[in-house]
A and B are shown apart, each in its own frame.
Chain A
C-alpha cells in the first residue's frame, strides 16, 4: 500500500498529473456513489453506455493517440466481442461466465490475426485496411444467416439471474470491469512498452535504429486494443440484450474516434470527457431533433475540427487557452474582493452609528 501511494507524495510531480488524478478520483467517487443519488433506470442505462463508450475509446486511443495508427475498423472487434458472447449464450447454451470471457478472447485473437497484416501498412492504407476488416465482419454478420440470423439480430442475451436481481448489479459489474481495464491500459501506456510505442509514432526510422522491432510492438498494441474493444463489446451485448449487424457498421467505428477527438488525442483522460460529451450530445440531440440529429451532430463535428482541434484536455494544456481559462476566475476573485470590502464598509458604518 505504501508503495502504491509513495509516488503521489513525490515533490517533483507535475501539477498537471496531480490535477489529473484529482479529477479522475472525483469521477470515480461520483460513479461509485451514483446509484445512491436517486438515479432511475434511464439514467443508469445512460451511464452504463457512457462507461462502455469510454472503454471503447480508451482502447482506441491506445492505437491512435499513442501509436499513431488511425483504425477505422474498431467496430469490427466490438461486434466480435458482442457476438461471440451472445452467440455462445443463445445458440450453444454455454454458461454466462464462459460467454463473458469468450468475448475479449475472440476479439483479441481476431485482432492478433488482422493486426499481422494491418501493421505492415501506415497512414491512409492502414485506415483503409482496418475499414475493410470491419466491412468484412459486417457483411459476414449479415450474410451468415444460419449462425447470426442476419438482419433479424439476436434476442435474449441475458446476463443471468445474478445480475438482474438488483437494479444496479450490472452497473457495478460494468464499472468494475471498465475501471480494471482502464487501469491495465494505463499501466501499459506508462510502461516501457508504451514509451516504445510512442517513440515509433514520433519517428519510426529512429525507433528502428535504436533497436525496436516496430512491427512487433505495433502488432501487440493492435491486439491489446482489439482485446479491450472486445471487453467493451461483451459488456454492451449483456447490457442491451439484443444484437444486430449495426454493431460492426462504419458509424459505430466513428464513435470512439469522435470521443477521442473531443476529449483529446494522445491523452489518457481525454476519452472519458469525450465519451461523456458525446453521450450527452447524442442523447439531447436524439430527443430534441429525432430526425434531424445527424445534422446537429455534423455541425458539431465541423465546429470541433475548426475551433476545438486539440480536444478538451489538449486545450487546457495549451498556454494560449489557459490564459482565457483564468479570466473568469479573476472576475470571481475581484467580485469576492469587492464583496469583502463592501461588507467591511458596512460594518464600519454600522459601528460609527
Chain B
C-alpha cells in the first residue's frame, strides 16, 4: 500500500525532474521557474476541466490543453527574457528564473485566488482498482502505467531522432554543435518549451490527486532537485530511478520516522553527492564540475 503510494508520488516527480535535467543538460540553465510551470499546469487543468463536460474524453483533452498552454507561456518567456542571458553568468539565470517564479505565483493568485482548489476525478477513474485486496485508487494505477510510457517515448525521442541527437550533443559540447551549423538558440527554445510542456502535464495529472494550492510549486521543485542529483543529470532512466527512490523514501519515512521524514531524502542526496557526485545513472566524464561557474 505504502509502496504503491510512493510509486504514484514518484511519477509526477519523474516528469518534473526530467524537464529540469533536459534544460540543464542543453542550455546549462538551472530553471527555478519549473515548479511554477508545474503549478500553472495544475491550475489550468482545474480551470479547463470545469469549463467542459466532466467526462473521461474531456479529461484527457484538458490535460493536453493545459500542457500546451504552459508551453506557450514558457515559449514567450524564453524568447523575450531567458534568451538574452544564456551567455552571462549562471547566477543571473538563477535570479531571473526566481523572479519568474514570484511573478507566475502572484499571477496565479490574481487570476484564481489564493485558496486551494479541489478537482473531481471523472466518473470512470474515480473508484478503486477492482480484483485486488488492497485499496488502491484507479487513478493512481493509470498514472503508474501512463508516466513510464511517456518516459519511454521520451527516451526513444532522445535516442533515435535527429532532434534528440542535437539535444544530446548540446549537453556534451555546445560550441562544437554551434560550429557545425545547428541553430542552438532555436534548439534551446524548443527544449525549454518541451520541458515546460512536460512540467505542465505533470501538474495537470497531479491536479486530481493533490490539493492545488500556491505552495505546490516550491515543494515539488525542491524534491525534483533531489531527484535530479540522485538520479544523475541528463539521464531519463536516472530521473525515473531517482524519482522512485525519493517517492518511496517519502512514503515510508512517514511510517518509520514521522518526526524527521523529510530529512531522509536530503540525507540520501547528501550521501549520493559525497560518494557519487555525478548521480547514480549519470556519466562521470561529462560532469559539470570541470566547467566551473562564471561569477
Contacts and interface: CB of A to CB of B under 8 A. Distances in A.
Contact of A305 (B99, B102, B291, B293): B99
A27 interface: no
Given A65-B295, A136-B266, A124 B24 contact: yes
Nearest to A123: B293
Given A291-B109, A298-B106, A299-B103, A306 B289 contact: no
Nearest to A302: B99
A121 interface: yes
A297 B102 contact: yes
B295 A129 contact: no
Contacts of A305: 85, 92-93, 95-96, 99
Interface stretch (B153-161, B179-187, B222-230, B244-252): B222-230
Contacts of A292: 106, 109-110
B162 interface: no
Contacts of B17: none
B68 interface: no
Nearest to B92: A305
A291 B24 CA distance: 33
Given A292-B106, A305-B92, A132 B266 contact: yes
Given A64-B295, A125-B277, A306-B85, A301 B289 contact: no
Interface string A108-147: 0000000001001111110111011101100110011000
B109 A298 contact: no
Chain A contact surface mostly: helix
Q: How large is the interface on B (under 10, 10 to 19, 20 to 34, 35 or more residues)?
A: 35 or more
A301 B95 contact: yes
Contacts of A133: 266
A250 interface: yes
A65 B94 CA distance: 15
Given A139-B260, A309-B88, A128 B229 contact: yes
B266 A135 contact: yes
B259 interface: yes
Interface string B12-34: 00000000000010000010000
Nearest to A67: B295
A117 B273 CA distance: 9
A80 to B, nearest CB: 15
Contact of B103 (A127, A204, A261, A298): A298
A269 B106 CA distance: 33
Given A143-B260, A265-B295, A291-B109, A132 B226 contact: yes
A261 B11 CA distance: 36
A156 interface: no
Interface in B65-122: 81, 84-85, 88-96, 98-103, 105-107, 109-110, 114
Given A123-B293, A294-B105, A301-B98, 10 more contacts: A65-B295, A68-B293, A70-B293, A120-B274, A122-B292, A132-B226, A136-B267, A139-B260, A261-B95, A304-B99
22 contacts: A65-B295, A70-B90, A117-B274, A123-B90, A123-B289, A123-B291, A124-B293, A128-B229, A128-B273, A129-B273, A131-B222, A135-B266, A136-B266, A143-B259, A144-B259, A257-B91, A261-B91, A292-B110, A294-B106, A295-B102, A300-B99, A301-B96
* 6 residue pairs, one from A and one from B, having the closest CB atoms: A301-B99, A298-B102, A295-B106, A298-B103, A305-B96, A298-B99
